[in-house]
Amino acid sequence: MVAMSDWVELNIGPHHPSTHGVLRLKARVEGEMVREVEPVIGYLHRNAEKLCENTFFCDNIIYFDRMDYVGAPGMEVGYLEAAEKLLGVFPPERAVWIRTIMAELSRIASHLIWLAAFGLELGMLTPFFYCFDLRESILTIFVEASGSRLLTNYCSIGGVYQDFNEKITDEVEKFVQDAPKKVEEINSLFIKNDIFISRNKGIGVLDKNVAIEYGVTGHMLRASGVEYDVRKAEPYLAYSKVNFEIPTSTKGDNLARYLVRIEEIRQSIKIISQSIKKLPEGPFFNPKAKKSMMIRLRGDGEVYARTESSKGEFGVYIVGDGGVKPYRVRVRSPSLRNLSVMRELGRNVMIADLVSILGTTDLVFGEIDR
């Protein structure tokens, strides 16, 4: 026995119920207290960046779908922001609004998954099912629009593959009407609960400067007091024409992150309800990128485009060499930066708190490891 015998090295993961996938945390544990945490990643490294170099511009969307798989249309929008600038093929007005609606729907879907998983991590068995029930109505819209539930492959270069028809707009309007009540009901299960508050208030406080140092974005940065949202900072799609607010908080703890997320869901519903009213008539794709033109698009130069995915600032950097395939694709994954700050947050916390901090961080490994 060595002198450090009361330090136990606990290996959490790669298969562990609370790691949202395949994260491995090397934790040095002293009784119930976690002294140090070192995340080990790479268990879902699927070489998407390499494959993107060998595929047509129009086909790369499928790899971006599979990055943040809980909110796939949001990722497609992020890729197309960069790819369309590079190729010089721009979508018509209607497609822009359709993409806005899809991106916001996917943001809600992603947040609901997070809420469900967060509830399970804290030991609440039931909110999971209500979240999935609500999410199912979003997936119905996705199937109706694109034909696939999860990985939609809906947006194409220069527009969208299929138009919104009467039925989809009806579904979206119905969702906008029903969702706020259900969200409030689910929220009340969390926020009114004394144990939930005691598990989250003042836990995992992330300082503003530390957050900026580590490149943290998204809800974690906003909960720490920086009002940074790419949708406002550098409006893309139709976000400059709709009315919404950025929720922030100065507390920086788990509860603040939770509240920011819930408020984001409300704001997204607001955006959707405005967009569906403003949806213009007209063509939904750019004829330059249809049918056999799909695989003949050539791009030169380099473009870095940022979008606000459900996890934070999602950036895509594409370098083209004038061919039909990109020369280099680089993805700025928000979750990777949000995870890297775990080294700071996971110092001298209890095992139970480590789990709840991981829960509010909201990781998706398809995007971290790519």
Partner 1 sequence: MEVKEPGRKIPLVGSLEGIMTVFKHSLMKPVTVQYPEEKEYTPDRFRFRIFLKLDDCVGCTLCEQVCPNKSIKMETVKRENPRNKRMIYPDVNFGTCTVCRNCEEICPTDAIYLTHVFETSRTKNSFLYSPEELSKPEDEVVK
Partner 2 sequence: MKTGDPGILTTTLEKALEWGRSNSLWPLTFGLACCAIEMMAIQASKVDISRFGSEIFRNSPRQSDLMIVSGTVTKKMAPRVKRLYDEMPYPKYVIAMGVCVIQGGPYVEGYSVVLGVDRVIPVDVYVPGCPPTPEALTYGLMTLQKKIRGEATR
Partner 3 sequence: MSLLSRTYSIFSILGYYASTFITYLIDSIILLLVAAVAIILTIYFFRKYMARVQLRIGPNRVGKYGTLQLIADALKLMGKESILPRLRDDLPYKVAPILVFTGLMIAFSLLPYGSFFWIGDVFISNSGVGIILLFAVLAIMPIGELLAGISSHNKYSLTGALRSVAKDISFEVPMMISVLAIVVMASARTPESLNIASVVSSEILPYGILQPLGLFVFYIGMIARASYSPFDMGESESELVSGYSTEYSGMRFGLFYVGMFGTILLGSFIVSLFYLGGYNGPYQWNLGLIYLLIKAVVVIVISFTVWLTMPRIRIDKFVNLGWKYLFPISVINLILAGFLTLYLGW
Q: Which residues bind partner 1 (CB under 8 A)?
A: 55-56, 58-63, 126, 130, 133, 136, 143-148, 151, 153, 156, 161-162, 185, 188-189, 191-195, 197, 201, 245-251, 255-256, 259-260, 263, 291-292, 294-295
Please say which residue, 197 or 303, places its beta carbon nearer to partner 3.
197
Please say which residue, 113 or 223, places its beta carbon nearer to partner 2.
113
Please name which of 60, 49, 46 lies closest in space to residue 299, comparing C-alpha atoms: 60
Contacted by 121, from partner 2, partner 3, partner 1, none: CB < 5 to 8 Å by type: partner 3
Contacted by 291, from partner 3, partner 1, partner 2, none: CB < 5 to 8 Å by type: partner 1
Contacted by 32, from partner 2, partner 3, partner 1, none: CB < 5 to 8 Å by type: partner 3
Please say which residue, 130 or 314, places its beta carbon nearer to partner 3.
130
Q: How far is CA 199 from its chain centroid? A: 24
DSSP element (H, E) containing 110: helix 93-122
Please say which residue, 160 or 272, places its beta carbon nearer to partner 1.
160
Number of residues that bind partner 3 (CB under 8 A): 31
Site for partner 3 in 17-36 (CB under 8 A): 17-18, 29, 31-32
Q: How far is CA 137 from its chain centroid? A: 19
CB of 54 to partner 1, least distance (A): 9
- CA dist 17 and 69 (Å) reads 18
Three-state secondary-structure class, residue 263: helix
Q: Please, how many CA atoms are within 13 Å of residue 277, restricted to the half-sphere of its CB?
A: 9
Site for partner 3 in 131-170 (CB under 8 A): 133
Contacted by 295, from partner 3, partner 1, partner 2, none: CB < 5 to 8 Å by type: partner 1
Sign of CA dihedral 65, 67, 69, 73: negative
Asked whether position 184 contacts partner 3 by CB under 8 A, the answer is no
CB of 205 to partner 2, least distance (A): 29
Q: Which two tokens stand for residue 84?
A: 């369309």
- CA dist 112 and 128 (Å) reads 9
Name the site residues for partner 2 (rule: CB under 8 A): 14-15, 17, 21-22, 42-48, 50-51, 54, 62-63, 66, 69-70, 113, 116, 128-129, 132-133, 136, 149-151, 365-366, 369
Sign of CA dihedral 250, 254, 255, 261: positive
Asked whether position 120 contacts partner 3 by CB under 8 A, the answer is yes
Name residue 313's beta-bridge partners: 308
Contacted by 205, from partner 1, partner 2, partner 3, none: CB < 5 to 8 Å by type: none
Please say which residue, 255 or 336, places its beta carbon nearer to partner 1.
255
- The one among 355, 363, 364, 368 contacting partner 3 by CB under 8 A: 355
Cβ-proximal residues to 34 (8 Å cutoff; 6+ apart), any chain: 10, 27, 28, 346, 347, 348, 349, 350, 351, 354
DSSP letter at 285?
Answer: B
Three-state secondary-structure class, residue 358: helix
- CA dist 179 and 271 (Å) reads 13
CB of 120 to partner 2, least distance (A): 9
Cis geometry, peptide bond prior to residue 14 (ω within 30 degrees of 0): yes
- CA dist 331 and 47 (Å) reads 12
Contacted by 292, from partner 1, partner 2, partner 3, none: CB < 5 to 8 Å by type: partner 1
Name residue 300's beta-bridge partners: 321
Footprint on this chain of partner 3 (rule: CB under 8 A): 8, 10, 16-18, 29, 31-32, 119-126, 128-130, 133, 189, 193, 195-196, 198-199, 350-353, 355
